[in-house]
């Protein structure tokens, strides 16, 4: 069953990101 949660917690969302910069996910460039 789905549970409604507060999705506005940026710190918690980025905590498991491999890399983050300026509050955003940092991903490798795929297009040159």
Share of the chain above pLDDT 70, in %: 100
Q: What is the pLDDT of residues 1-31, one digit of tens each?
A: 999 987 778 888 888 888 999 988 999 889 9
In the block, tokens 């940092």 appear at 26
pLDDT at 30: 92
Q: What is the dihedral of CA 30, 27, 13, 1, to 10 degrees?
A: 30
**Residue 31 confidence (pLDDT):** 92
Q: What is the value of pTM for the model shown? A: 0.46
């Amino acid at each position: 069953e789905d549970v409604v949660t507060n999705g506005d917690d940026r710190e918690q969302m980025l905590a498991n990101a491999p890399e983050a910069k300026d509050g955003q996910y940092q991903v490798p460039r795929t297009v040159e």
